[in-house]
Amino acid sequence: MADDEQPERTDSAAPRIFQADQPDGVPPLELTGERTLPDVPAENYWYRRHSVVYEWIRARVGGLTVVDLACGEGYGSEILARTASDVIGVDANPDAHAHAEARYGRPGLRFERTLIDAFDEPRDAVVFLQTIEHVTNPGEILDHCRGLVSYSDHAVAYVSTPNVLTLAPEGEDRSGNPWHVHEYRPEEFRRLCSDHFADVEIFGLHHARALRVHQIAIERFGWDSIHPKLKLTGPFYDRFVPAISEHDFALVSERERSLDGALDLLAVMRP
């Protein structure tokens, strides 16, 4: 399913949007398209699409030391810290770092403001989600990730990226997101990961439940041409998007379902 068949995302032509209802003393972040944010109703599809992967990883890093590289707003680091023994969220953006420290800082969870390739504290697990498409040196970053976990008995790295086959509009080679340097096809992403890690397993994120029904309505029944004619676009999506939850996505092994139709690709890698 192409990007234009997913719930609409705020773009640069829209009015400026900030996070709502932040705790006292926590500066709200602006939705720019560079990173996803919680507490923005119109962004909920993308936030849940990302947080479901953090939740999946959370269930697998219990008792481990973890670094969340390019952690952004910090919500993912907080999810990981619910089971991990120690989590460090790393981001170079000063606004995101200040927000994350103010909102999520607590024992077992801390944030460092630095470049991802400058962080050098050994960890059991590296989490690097939805960011490799933003960098010009993906191989060097993967080597750095491998080095961070190479001395651990548990050594594992989790790296995700959008699947350009479903992100880009039909007939296009890329989505047009100005923050993306390169967008990956499944086999290309696998080759990249396998060049830097010995053991690589790829999972695909797919729509489930309400989002699967929505996808079928578009693909089989032309919902995208129906709701504008009935003037239902605003009333429908103003309710539908905020109601999306992690249960409306499914992370599935490539052995069970083709990666070509996946929304995002998650590599689970060991040195």
Residue 144 has pLDDT above 60, yes or no: yes
Residue 141 lies in a domain: yes
Helix (H, G, I), strand (E, B) or coil at 49: helix
Q: What is the pLDDT at residue 10?
A: 45
Residue 19 lies in a domain: no
Strand residues in 129-213 grouped as ranges (E): 156-162, 199-207
Q: What is the pLDDT at residue 4?
A: 40
Q: Higher model confidence: residue 6 or residue 142?
A: 142
Residue 16 lies in a domain: no
Read off the pLDDT of residues 164-195 as tens digits, 9 standing for 90 and up. 999 999 888 899 889 999 999 999 999 999 99
Residue 22 lies in a domain: no
Q: What is the mean pLDDT of the chain?
A: 93
Cα gap 209→206, rounded to integer Å = 10
Read off the pLDDT of residues 61-113 as tens digits, 9 standing for 90 and up. 999 999 999 999 999 999 999 999 999 999 999 999 999 999 998 899 999 99
Helix (H, G, I), strand (E, B) or coil at 3: helix
Report residue 1's pLDDT band, with 50, 70 and 90 as the boundaries: very low
User: Nearest-CA neighbor of 80 among 116, 99, 113, 108?
Assistant: 108
Residue 33 has pLDDT above 80, yes or no: yes
Q: What is the pLDDT at residue 12?
A: 47
CATH number at residue 93: 3.40.50.150
Phi, psi of 117 (to 5 degrees): -85, 0
Q: What is the pLDDT at residue 2?
A: 41
Element (H, E) at 239: helix 233-240
Element (H, E) at 264: strand 264-270
Report percent pLDDT > 70 for the chain. Answer: 95
Number of domains in the chain: 1
Residue 159 lies in a domain: yes
Q: Report the length, in residues, of the chain.
A: 271
Q: Residue 208 is which amino acid?
A: A
Report residue 261's pLDDT band, with 50, 70 and 90 as the boundaries: very high
Residue 152 lies in a domain: yes
Residue 43 has pLDDT above 50, yes or no: yes
- What does each C-alpha distance from 96 to 3, 70, 113, 136 come to in angstroms? 26, 10, 9, 21
> Mean pLDDT, to the nearest integer, of 158-168?
96
Domain containing residue 183: 38-270
